[in-house]
Structure 1
Amino acid sequence: MKISIKTLVAATLLVGSLLSAVGAAAQEGPVFELRTYTSTPGNLDKLLARFRDHTMGLFEKHGMTNIGYWIPLDEARSGNTLIYLLKHDSMEAASASWRAFASDPEWAAVNEASNRDGAILDNVQREYMTATDFSQMK
């Protein structure tokens, strides 16, 4: 399944706004965002380079905290999957950070350059979470 970058950005903004509206009243304190990216065939290295060289810094610039980045050990996913965890101050902060990130001219340039030879990203999944009262991450 191919997703255009414009569609991905629009969906990110819409979902962020909806989640912010729904979750803001019930959630106080930090919010963790778990994302799973599936690259297009043969492009995981390009996706990893984009995160290593650009995206992580842009996330920090826009108020997101990078917690960790992982490649699954599962053979079927190890060649095309990046899983990462971000921390936000709140759902509202997450929504604001993603809006700012999506409209950043530096991100637009990085995204365009990394997709110059074809889309490197096939699928994005994300889930927002709050820490339990016994979690080491708060």
Structure 2
Amino acid sequence: MIYEIRVYEASDGNAEAMKARFRNEVAKRFFPSHGIELLGVFETPDDASRLTYLTRFKSEDDRARAWAAFGADPAWRAVKAATETNGPLLKTQTVSVLSPALAGLLLA
């Protein structure tokens, strides 16, 4: 399994719009249709402009295919364009791809 942590930082004044788009469109509509398994979504208590989420994929190939399909989806592009008429919602995005280091180790 491949895990991925993404941290989004909203552009100035767009934290709520970024979170709403993620919650209402990305997580519910686009991730499931492209095979992106969302494991959790987190906020940083002292920084409302950040949104962190964790995803899981069967393999690196599946991860690459899923993100390519998501990015090329015309419906996603339309939603993105419609929600960014006043400029981008994201200031920065950080991606960390993780693969298990100790197979079979379960943490309680």
The normalised TM-score by structure 1 is 0.72
In the TM superposition, what is the alpha-carbon distance from 1:135 to its structure 2 partner?
A: 3.5
- Of the three residues 125, 129, 132, the one matched with 2:94 is 125
Q: Distance in 1 between matches of 2:86 and 2:43?
A: 23
In the TM superposition, what is the alpha-carbon distance from 1:129 to its structure 2 partner?
A: 0.6
Please state which structure has a larger fraction of its residues in helix: 1
The normalised TM-score by structure 2 is 0.91
Identical aligned pairs, as a percentage? Answer: 27
Q: Distance in 2 between matches of 1:44 and 1:52?
A: 12
In the TM superposition, what is the alpha-carbon distance from 1:48 to its structure 2 partner?
A: 0.6
In the TM superposition, what is the alpha-carbon distance from 1:79 to its structure 2 partner?
A: 1.9
Between the two proteins, the alignment pairs up a number of residues equal to 104
What is the root-mean-square deviation in Å for CA atoms of aligned residues?
1.1
- Of the three residues 41, 53, 61, the one matched with 1:69 is 41
Please state which structure has a larger fraction of its residues in strand: 2
Q: What does the per-residue CA deviation read over 1:115-137, in whole Å, with 9 as the maximum and x for residues that have no partner?
A: 1111110000001112333235x
Secondary structure of the structure 2 residue equivalent to 1:85: strand
Higher relative contact order (CA closer than 8 Å, sequence separation 6+): 2
**1:107 is matched with which residue?**
76
Q: Provide runs of 4+ in structure 1 moved above 3 Å.
A: none
Q: Unaligned regions of 5+ residues in structure 1, if any?
A: 1-29
Q: Distance in 2 between matches of 1:112 and 1:39?
A: 16
Taking the TM superposition and a 5 Å limit, the aligned residue runs for 1:7-26 are none
Taking the TM superposition and a 5 Å limit, the aligned residue runs for 1:72-111 are 72-73=44-45, 75=46, 78-111=47-80
In the TM superposition, what is the alpha-carbon distance from 1:112 to its structure 2 partner?
A: 0.3
